[in-house]
Each structure stands twice: as structure tokens, then as C-alpha cells.
Copies of this chain bind each other. A is one copy, B any other.
């Protein structure tokens, strides 16, 4: 028996006046999700606890059975893992921008002309830079003007401020220690040197010379922010005795799966947006389900993007497209299949809220209830009542007969 958890990122919403006080999921035509509700046990789910506005990261951490209040140190470590840096517990990870500074050191473009091409070469120049300190500098490009920085070595701390001044027309901020420890002071010093040295390494980089020649802003400095220490996480496979795999679109979710030790399946054309290639995602899931994995985490991100952009109609349309995929996934056999979201991203708020999300579990022995529609309100009458993200793995393991009895 396999277990699948499919997360439709940001699926939950609030009643919208323009939709007759219905939610996008309530107005979307989703016959397959409704069929799952009819065949399964439904409920509503608080990713962390009622009313808490979860991030996609903290929600996934909770759903996978970890305590986000213990594990989560910031987005940096997961972004770094998500772009393929093989992070280790204790590494200090940062999200970075490629930016443009003028010869006085003033940031003239925080996003280096939204550079898209050549970042790999630039990153390779920064990666492995030599410092006096005994610390390894790992640097890798992400998408567009984004990149990740990882410092590896003894005596480092994530209690350091950002170099990012958040506005153009300013110098990079001098990084300072946020506590009184030697580790934080050392890390702040190193980070200041990394920023300074990145300019030395990049100002005359061939890619930048070409950019300047064609009137584009040079990516001539890297600006780190959001320090986070890579957490020590019990590998998911060992924690549950499962052989886990993850299909996700965004670096953040891939990074969580990666730090949890899951195998990652790359899907060509998965953009994380509403334009993503759902056909490839569907085929990737079906192919992966036929292999030797007994747990699959799936994340599809488009509904969250539409929510953040306040695009009501796009959110409805995307949910309908995802429904078609789910129709195909329902053919997977010998599985307990859990469909839910990681949080609500209401059109009206254009950000995550703490509203609970619908959840349904299908599989051979669930106590099927009488819910026949899959949405925020109908599932609240289901047999699961109201559960939390960190109940999900316990419930799934129990249904799969893989859990250990506590007591006699």
C-alpha cells in the first residue's frame, strides 16, 4: 500500500462577493475532486493550528510530521537545498540577489536588470571564493536574479543581519551580529567580506562587460539576506520507514523534501505558475507511482500564484485544470491518497491566511462520509472533522498499517 499526499498550494480561499460569496474552489467545476470527496473521508485542516498563517515551508514541514517551531530557521536553507546545494546541518544559508552597484558602491538596481542569462557563469566565479577564514563559500544561481549562498565551517551563526538595504540608492548594509556571541560576530565579518569580494570578482566579469556593452545593468555584486542555519532533520524515510519521493515545482518545496532526504523527480516545464505543464506533472506522478516508492509528496503551485496576484478567474481556471489531472491520478491503485492544500491564499488578501483548508483521504478502509463536494465549507461536515497538519502522517501511517502501537 502506497501513500500519496497531494498539496494544491494556496488552494483555500474566502467567500468573494463577485462569486456570489462563494470561494474559487466552490465555483470551479471540479468533478474529480468531488468524486474523491464522495469516495473518501473529508475534513478541514489547520496546517499549524487554527488561525496561524502558515508559509508554504512551515506548512509542509508540519504536514510531513516535523515541528516547524523547532525545525524552521528561515527560508534560506530550503531555498539552497532546493537549487541543489547539498546542505549539511549547521551550514548557514542565505537567499541572495544579483544586484548592480555603481563605482561609489551605491546599489542602482537590486535585481541587476532582472538578469536571466549568464547567472550560472557568474555564480561559478563567486562559488568557492577564498577567504582568510577557514570557511567554505558555496554559491549557486537560482532563477533570474536570485541565488543562494551557503557558508560552511566551524563557529558560524545565523544571528546576523541582512546586507540587503531593500531600496536602491543605498550602499549594501554592513552586516552585524544580532547577538553577543563570537560566532555571530565572525559570521557577520565573513559575510561583509563575501559581499565586498563578490564585487572584486564580478565587476570585470566577461558576462558583465557584455551586459554593459548592450546597455544592461551588470550583475556585479551579490547581496545576501535571511540567514538561516540548516536544521538537523531526521530523514523522513527513517522516521517513517518509507521510501519517499517528491514531485514539486518550486525550489522552496524541493528544498524541504531534499533536507528531509526525499528523492526528487524533476518535471520538465513545471514553472510553479498557472502556465505550468500540468500534462508533464501528471505523467511524472503516474510514472513515479509505478516505481518502488511507497510515499509520494506532490506540490502544484499555480493556485497560490493566482491568489498572490489576486487573479480570481485564473485561480478558478487553474483549479479546474488541476481537477483534470486528479481524474487521472484517481486511477492509481493500492494507495491511500490525501488531497489538501498547505494554506489559503485568498484573492482578497493576496497573501496566505490562517483559514483552514479542505482535506480528503481516499483508500480501501477509510470511513467514507456523506460529503460529496470538495471545498472549504462542504468538507467541514466530514468525518475527519478538524485536524492539524501534523496529524496527517500519523493518520496515513495508521491507515497504511505501518505505525507502531503505543502500549499494549
Contact = CB atoms under 8 A, between A and B. Distances in A.
Contacts of A349: 401
B51 A368 contact: no
A50 to B, nearest CB: 4
Contacts of A353: 398, 401
A7 B112 CA distance: 56
A54 B351 contact: no
A403 B354 contact: yes
Contact of A387 (B50, B58, B352): B50
A331 interface: no
30 contacts: A14-B365, A14-B367, A15-B365, A21-B368, A48-B406, A50-B391, A51-B396, A51-B403, A52-B398, A52-B403, A52-B406, A53-B398, A53-B403, A53-B405, A53-B406, A55-B405, A56-B407, A56-B408, A57-B408, A68-B407, A72-B407, A75-B407, A346-B365, A348-B365, A349-B401, A355-B398, A369-B380, A377-B383, A380-B385, A381-B381
Contacts of A44: 383, 385
Contacts of A365: 14-15, 346, 348
A9 interface: no
A21 B364 CA distance: 10
B385 A377 contact: no
- Listed from nearest, the 9 A-B pairs whose CB atoms lie closest are A55-B407, A51-B394, A58-B407, A354-B398, A51-B395, A385-B386, A50-B391, A55-B408, A75-B408
Interface string A117-147: 0000000000000000000000000000000
Given A380-B369, A394-B354, A407 B51 contact: no
A368 B408 contact: no
A49 interface: yes
Given A48-B406, A50-B387, 20 more contacts: A14-B367, A15-B368, A21-B368, A44-B383, A49-B391, A50-B394, A51-B395, A51-B396, A53-B406, A56-B408, A68-B406, A72-B407, A75-B407, A75-B408, A346-B365, A353-B398, A353-B401, A354-B403, A367-B377, A381-B381
